[in-house]
A and B are shown apart, each in its own frame.
Chain A
Amino acid sequence: MDIKEQLLAYLEGTLTPAQRREVVRRLATSRQWQAELEAIQYSQSQLKREMPAFGCPTHKQLTALLPDILEKSKQPSRLREKVDWTQGGMLLCMIAVMLMMVPILIKAQTAVLASTNLKNIPATTNTPVAIRVSTLEVPRAVVASSSGANVVEAVAYRIQADFQYCDIRTGLFLPISSRTRSDVRVVGLTPAPVPGSTLEPSREAALETRQ
Chain B
Amino acid sequence: MDTKHDDPILNPLMTRIQRGDQTACTDLYDLYAPGVYRLAYSVLLHRQDAEDVVQEVFVYVFRNLKLYDPNRGQFRTWLYTITISRCRNARRRKMLPTVALSDLLLLGLEPHGPESENPETASLREDANRVLGQALKTLSSRLREAVALRYGQGLTYREMGEILNIPPKTAESRIRLAHEALRSAMQPNDIALLEEFLG
**A interface residues (Cβ-Cβ under 8 A, vs B):** 4-5, 8-9, 12, 14, 39-40, 42-44, 46-62, 65-66, 68-70, 72-73, 77, 129-138, 141, 161, 163, 178, 181, 184, 186, 189
Assess A133 versus B59: contact at CB under 8 Å? Given A43-B186, A51-B148, A58-B112.
Answer: no
Q: CB within 8 A of B48: which of A12, A57, A134, A181?
A: A134
Q: Determine whether the beta carbon of B54 is less than 8 Å from that of A65.
A: yes
Residues in B with CB closer than 8 Å to A62 are 29-30, 33-34, 37, 54
Q: Is the interface on chain B under 10, 10 to 19, 20 to 34, or 35 or more residues?
A: 35 or more
Residue of B nearest to A156 (CB): B101
Excluding A56-B34, A65-B51, A73-B62, 10 further A-B contacts by CB distance (< 8 Å) are A39-B183, A43-B182, A50-B132, A54-B132, A55-B50, A57-B112, A58-B112, A59-B115, A73-B63, A136-B51
CA distance A46 to B194 in the complex (A): 8
CB distance from A160 to the nearest CB of B (A): 10
CA distance A135 to B59 in the complex (A): 14
Q: Which residues, 135 to 179 on B, are CB-close (under 8 Å) to A?
A: 147-148, 150-152, 154, 157, 172-173, 175-176, 179
Q: Determine whether the beta carbon of B34 is less than 8 Å from that of A57.
A: yes
Q: Determine whether the beta carbon of A131 is less than 8 Å from that of B34.
A: no
CA distance A8 to B177 in the complex (A): 11
Q: 9 shortest A-B CB distances, which residue pairs?
A: A55-B41, A73-B62, A51-B151, A47-B151, A51-B152, A57-B37, A130-B98, A72-B59, A55-B111
Q: Determine whether the beta carbon of B151 is less than 8 Å from that of A5.
A: no
Q: Determine whether the beta carbon of A9 is less than 8 Å from that of B111.
A: no
**B interface residues (Cβ-Cβ under 8 A, vs A):** 22, 25-26, 29-30, 33-34, 37-38, 41-42, 47-48, 50-52, 54-55, 58-59, 62-63, 93, 96-102, 104-105, 111-115, 125, 128-129, 132-133, 147-148, 150-152, 154, 157, 172-173, 175-176, 179-180, 182-183, 186, 191, 194, 198
Q: Determine whether the beta carbon of B104 is less than 8 Å from that of A73.
A: no
CB distance from B168 to the nearest CB of A (A): 10
CA distance A131 to B101 in the complex (A): 6
Q: Determine whether the beta carbon of B62 is less than 8 Å from that of A55.
A: no
Residues in B with CB closer than 8 Å to A48 are 151
CA distance A73 to B37 in the complex (A): 18
Q: Determine whether the beta carbon of A132 is less than 8 Å from that of B129.
A: no
Q: Determine whether the beta carbon of B183 is less than 8 Å from that of A69.
A: no
Residues in A with CB closer than 8 Å to B133 are 54
Q: Determine whether the beta carbon of A51 is less than 8 Å from that of B111.
A: no
Residues in B with CB closer than 8 Å to A184 are 99, 104
CB distance from A41 to the nearest CB of B (A): 10
CA distance A66 to B51 in the complex (A): 11
Q: Determine whether the beta carbon of B34 is less than 8 Å from that of A54.
A: no
CA distance A132 to B95 in the complex (A): 12
Residues in B with CB closer than 8 Å to A161 are 93
CA distance A156 to B34 in the complex (A): 31
Q: Determine whether the beta carbon of A44 is less than 8 Å from that of B179.
A: yes
CA distance A5 to B30 in the complex (A): 38
